[in-house]
Amino acid sequence: MSSGTTTSGTTTSGTMSTGTMTSGTMSTGHSSSSNDSGSDNTTITTTRTDLRRTTAAVAAAPVLLGLYGGIRLLDGSRAPGAGWLVGHTLLLAGLLLFAPVFAGLRRMIAPRRPVGRVAANLTAGVAFAGLLAAVGQTGIDLYVGARAADKAEQIRLFDQIQNHPGVVPAFYAVGPLLFYVGLLALLVTLAAGRARRISVWSPVLVLVGTVVMGADLDLMSVGAALYLAALLPLAGRLASAAAATARRPRG
């Protein structure tokens, strides 16, 4: 009786243990499959979100510059008033949207060697320095436009600000030029070499747009349209670079 009880108990225990193990194995497999599926769905959702945001920034940045260029052609827009404030607000918004564009272009370069990474970071640094200077200039313009009651006071305020040492080179003569130099350098880096990650037309169109705007600010909308044609085709690759960076393990 004792032996029978023991055998029965052992058999029952063994059966339960086997069943439990099988159930656990099936549960683990199902959980792993669910996790993989959830991870894939999250990746797809993240990529789509990155694509929408990147496309919006790449499109909106030059469009806002173009709108500013159009507003400044209107009568009275170059004197204190609604036209000045609206135009420069659009310009400021457009410039700020170039920040994610510059960051995305830097990610696309993805150099393998330390020297390449240093060069890419320096190039991006030049672009961001120029962006900061352009934003500063626009901020000054908005401040003067909001404070001045008429054209004469506008001129007086500009003279007062620009007479401070370093203001003209930092925010007018030199600083903003770095924006264009940095943008062109980033695009040329991506279009040159063996990898050739983008079409050579992108830096060419940006160069032409920059020359057009530099020759006559009344053609700023034309230059902005060329920027749009150069940058919009890159939206997908910029989004992919952002998604890849987000998925990269840290630490």
Distances from the Cα of 92 to the Cαs of 8, 84, 140, 162, in angstroms?
82, 12, 11, 20
Question: Which of 70-74, 195-199, 234-238 ranks highest by mean pLDDT?
Answer: 70-74
Q: What is the pLDDT of residue 79?
A: 94
Predicted confidence (pLDDT) at residue 249 exceeds the cutoff of 70: no
Distances from the Cα of 25 to the Cαs of 15, 28, 37, in angstroms?
15, 5, 18
Which helix (H) or strand (E) segment is 233 a member of? none
Residue among 191, 234, 215 at smallest CA distance from 62: 234
Torsions phi, psi of 55, nearest 5? -60, -40
pLDDT band at 7 (very low <50, low <70, confident <90, very high): very low
CA angle 48, 229, 96 (to 5 degrees): 65
Q: What is the pLDDT of residue 70?
A: 97
Among 51-65, 89-103, 113-127, whose mean pLDDT is lowest?
Answer: 51-65
pLDDT tens track for 12-49: 444 444 444 344 444 444 444 445 555 455 445 555 66
pLDDT tens track for 130-168: 999 999 999 999 999 999 999 999 999 999 999 999 999
Positive or negative CA dihedral for 240, 241, 243, 249? positive
Residue among 179, 203, 212, 168 at smallest CA distance from 69: 212
Among 28-32, 63-67, 160-164, 172-176, whose mean pLDDT is lowest?
Answer: 28-32
Predicted confidence (pLDDT) at residue 237 exceeds the cutoff of 50: yes
Interval 184-192 mean pLDDT: 95
Contacting residues for 184 by C-beta, under 8 A, at least 6 apart: 203, 206, 207, 210
Q: How far apart are CA 145 and CA 157, in angstroms?
A: 9
Q: How far apart are CA 205 and CA 66, in angstroms?
A: 15
pLDDT tens track for 100-130: 999 999 999 888 889 989 999 999 999 999 9
Distances from the Cα of 34 to the Cαs of 24, 40, 41, 74, 177, in angstroms?
15, 10, 10, 59, 52
Torsions phi, psi of 111, nearest 5? -70, 150
Q: How far apart are CA 3 and CA 172, in angstroms?
A: 99
Predicted confidence (pLDDT) at residue 230 exceeds the cutoff of 80: yes
Domain spans, the chain:
40-247
Predicted confidence (pLDDT) at residue 10 exceeds the cutoff of 60: no
Interval 196-213 mean pLDDT: 95
Q: What is the pLDDT of residue 246?
A: 58
* Residues present in the chain in total: 251
pLDDT band at 239 (very low <50, low <70, confident <90, very high): confident
Q: What is the pLDDT of residue 244?
A: 65
Contact 178, 186 (CB under 8 A): no
